[in-house]
Structure 1
Amino acid sequence: MLFDQLPRDDARITPGVVHLPGWLPLERQAGIITQLRDIARDVAGTPLAMTRPQLKSGQMQVFMLHLGRMWATNPYRYVTHAGGVRVPPVPDNLLQLATEALRAAALYDESLSQWPATFRPDMALVNYYPPGATMGMHQDRNENSPAPIVSLSIGDEALFRIGGTENRNKPWDDVTLASGDVIVFGGPKRLAFHGVPKTRPDTLPEGCGLKEGRINITFRQVENSH
């Protein structure tokens, strides 16, 4: 583990943030990786290809694949098409997985408990972290819905950091995310700054579907349910 002193039991980290370690079994992880590879192959060579986005601050370290909707820049917004190509839908099994994970997390936090019955994720962002890659502190603030964010990790261990809603400054809560872990944040932490300041290469479990690096799937409900 990156930080052995950090807990590995199901836990509410802080109001609005719940960690479910080892929630997804290894064989299901491998199946999802195979599924995502197939989608990535289908969109290769199109405007939806899995690439490292170029931001004003420079090129990101992670590769991104969009499902359901695409995160576009200048201005930041969600779109359903890019270059005339429709963004591939979020597979039904992943939609079900996200809802199941939220239901499990809601047992530990009252601010999440209102959401499982109405949660309708319509977008999944797949981030591939090459060995040692990181992601800076940021907010997920372009969604119209205040529904929680559900995030699944597969592959190498990562340090997930979540702070306040006003800026990137301390205090932070740090959580080690291993393969199969889920973290959910919503309620008072829905717009919290969060990031991945460290990943640990060569810590993925055999059989997870990856040979190196880390996949993070972030499920979001962009539009309000009707």
Structure 2
Amino acid sequence: MSEELFPRERTEIVPGAVHVPDWLGPARQRELVEACREWARPPAGLRTVRTPGGGTMTARQVCLGLHWYPYGYARTAVDGDGAPVKAMPGWLAELGREAVTAAYGPAAYGPAAYGPGSAPYGPGVGDPGVGGPVAAGGPAYDIALINFYDGDARMGMHRDAEERSGAPVVSLSLGDTCLFRFGNTASRGRPYRDVELRSGDLFVFGGPARRAYHGVPKVLPGTAPPDLGLVGRLNITLRVGGLGPSGPGPGAGAGPGR
């Protein structure tokens, strides 16, 4: 923001987890908000997610590419209207790869992203049409989870654990600022670090941080850029499923995004 004394800088929160402030310019943010409005329309539109224990998530969600539900993936909105999930746009998949490069630099598809000695694409990735390599290298992002938060919405600490690919998770923030809590891979408790994510910010986590617990304990209402035309917060989370030709199935853990 121009009124700040010191500009916010790219920060490695923990090894593999990188915050890039103001990565999306105002025009690109507006384009993404309009795209989210279209994706949120039925069929397979914005829904309230219900957990197996009978609870509900306060952030509402729509999915692209594959439909996430607690706790797995499907090709239809199995916990919504049952319609086929909307396709993952190629331009959004490309934006995911660009985000990884912005976070990790020229060695975006090396150990920083996947961990030492790990296979870049993970089991099943590389199969035709399922998260395979794209022209400039790296995996093709084939899943998007879009969460909408009003002022009272929260997201508990969880891991994104249903994907078989080790590709980094890409998180794009639009609208209201939130407090994003990024923790460790062992438990939902400490140590963790709280990061302020504003509209246009990028957060990428991969490598040793890929299975870290994370959540959103607070949204700050009324902090969205005035010209964005959005009340609340949108988060676009991009992932590589790596689910292979057998397709999606039940996973382990809880991965609703952030």
TM-score (norm 2): 0.77
1:20 corresponds to which residue? 20
Q: What residue is the counterpart of 1:92 in the other structure?
A: 90
Cα deviation code 1:4-57 (max 9, x no counterpart) = 9xx82111111010000000001111111111211222x2xx4x2311111125
The residue number in structure 1 matching 2:77 is 82
Check the 8 A contact 1:120/1:225 in 2, yes or no.
no
| C-alpha spacing 1:225/1:99, structure 2 compared with 1 (3 Å) | farther
Per-residue deviation at 1:188? 0.6
TM-score (normalizing by structure 1): 0.88
Flag the 1:9–1:182 CA change in 2: closer, same or farther, 3 A. same
Q: Which residue of 1 aligns with 2:123?
A: none
Shift of 1:92: 2.0
The alpha carbon displacement at 1:225 in A equals 8.1
Aligned partner of 1:52 among 25, 33, 48: 48
* Unaligned ranges ≥5, structure 1: none
Equivalents in 2 of 1:223, 1:69: separation in Å?
11
For 1:71, give the aligned amino acid: W
What SS is found at the alignment partner of 1:59? Answer: coil
For residues 162 and 138 of structure 1, the distance between their equivalents in structure 2, rounded to whole angstroms, comes to 10
**3-state SS of paired residue (1:223):** coil
Residue 105 (structure 1) aligned to one of 100, 103, 127: 103
TM superposition shift of 1:209: 3.5
Q: Secondary structure at the match of 2:173?
A: strand
Structure 2 Cα separation of the partners of residues 174 and 184 of structure 1: 15
2:212 and 2:226 map into 1 onto residues whose CA distance is: 33
Equivalent residues of 2:94, 2:141 under 8 A apart: no
For 1:160, which of 166, 176, 180 is the aligned residue?
180
The reply on whether 1:143 has 2:140 as its aligned counterpart is no
Offset at 1:88? 0.6
1:224 Cα deviation from its structure 2 partner: 6.2
> How big is the shift at 1:81?
1.9
Q: Does the CA-based 8 Å contact 1:23-1:180 persist in structure 2?
A: yes
Bigger mean CA offset, 170-179 vs 87-96: 87-96
Residue aligning to 1:174: 194
Aligned-residue sequence identity (percent) comes to: 42
Over residues 143-199 of structure 1, what are the superposed CA-to-partner deviations in whole Å (9 max), with x where a residue is unaligned? 010111000000000111111111111010111000000000011110000001111
Q: Does 1:186 align with 2:184?
A: no
Tell me, yes or no, if structure 1 residue 66 matches structure 2 residue 63: yes
After superposition, the C-alpha distances for 1:73-122 in whole angstroms (9 at most, x for unaligned) are: 3xx21111236632111222211211111111112985128868212111
Aligned partner of 2:34: which letter? T
Tell which deviates more after alignment, 53-62 or 106-115: 106-115
Q: Note the aligned Cα RMSD (angstroms).
A: 2.4
2:154 aligns to what?
A: 134
Is residue 132–residue 200 contact of structure 1 (8 Å, CA) maintained in 2? no
Given candidates 229, 237, 254, the residue that maps to 1:218 is 237
Deviation at 1:63, TM superposition (A): 0.7
In proportion to residue count, which structure has more strand? 1
Q: Which amino acid aligns with 2:89?
A: P
Structure 2 distance, partners of 1:149, 1:57, is 28
